[in-house]
Structure 1
Amino acid sequence: MADDSHGLVATLAAAGSRILAPFAWLLGRLIEPLRTGDGPNKFRLSSVETHTTTIDGDTGWAYRPPAMLGCPECGAGILQSDPRDDIDCPSCSATFPPGEMTDLELRLLICPVCRARMEHGQRHPEAFDVPEWATCHNCQYHWEFKHFY
């Protein structure tokens, strides 16, 4: 009789753990971001200047996302990872200074967080020849060109 009751208790305990397992998993997912550890803070919050509801963001030309530009010589794509980097074509070896970005075709901006294609645009096309904002719909990163009105 003792062996049967022990087996019944083990069966009930296993059934209970299967029922409670999803709740334990959910509780763990909710508590994990609040735990402190040895590493840096992992919370990603949008910059105050961007005034968005995005998860992460930056403001200013120095923090502009990587850009894919079109080479006017051969039509190849040129990746300019940083806005201060020279624009060097990998196909034909044409080189342009960073300031000539406005003279080249801007094909896309690449999200620095998840590497997805960003939606971008201009708010003042008659005043600026560069993108003034970019948003990643994949990870909710947002960038704003900082300027004074």
Structure 2
Amino acid sequence: MTGFLQVLFETLRRAVDRLVDPLRADDDLENFRLSIPETHTTTIEGDTGWSTRPPAQVRCRQCDSEIRQSDPHDVIDCPRCLAEFPPEEFPKLELLYLECPVCRTRMEHGQRHPDRLDVPEWATCHGCRYHWEFKHSF
């Protein structure tokens, strides 16, 4: 009977550990998320500044193809017609969407000062709640 109780106790201990493990303290709290994504009212992860801007899809002015610019300082290089645009040309190209660097979905983006800036000033991913802000001071 003692062996049976030991096995039962070990089984229960492992089951409780599996249930409690996600709730244990995480030193950096990066992965501590108790609510489901649909109930988040604030963002979970985020960045600020143009150098951390999410990858962008823009339209090529010469052949209408989509061009992916992974980093905001990269040359905008069309894979179809071989047109190249310097990174400074980004505001002159049609922005199709920004891609979430966490879950790779399209982000909602916009401008707060359209009369002063020609680039997106914020972007939010509704899938994983990542948020990016263009840091500036006026």
| Candidates 50, 57, 60, aligned match of 1:61 | 50
Q: How does 1:1-149 map to 2 (within 5 A)?
A: 6=1, 10=4, 14=8, 17=11, 21=15, 23-31=16-24, 33-34=25-26, 41=28, 43=30, 53-149=42-138
Which residue of 2 is the match for residue 3 of structure 1? none
The gaps in structure 2 that reach 5 residues or longer are 32-40
Structure with the larger helix share: 1
Query: Structure 1: which 4+ aligned runs deviate by more than 4 Å?
Result: 11-16
Cα shift at 1:17: 3.8
Root-mean-square deviation over aligned CA pairs: 2.6
- Flag the structure with more relative contact order, 1 or 2, with Cα contacts below 8 A and sequence separation at least 6: 2
Percent of aligned pairs sharing the same letter: 53
After TM superposition, the score normalised by the length of structure 1 is: 0.75
Q: What are the Cα deviations for residues 47-82 of structure 1, in whole angstroms up to 9, with x where unaligned?
A: xxxxx9311111111111110011111111101011
2:12, 2:62 → 1: CA distance?
Answer: 64
1:104 and 1:87 mapped to 2: Cα distance? 10
Structure 1, unaligned runs of 5 or more:
1-5, 45-51
Q: Give the length in aligned residue pairs.
A: 129
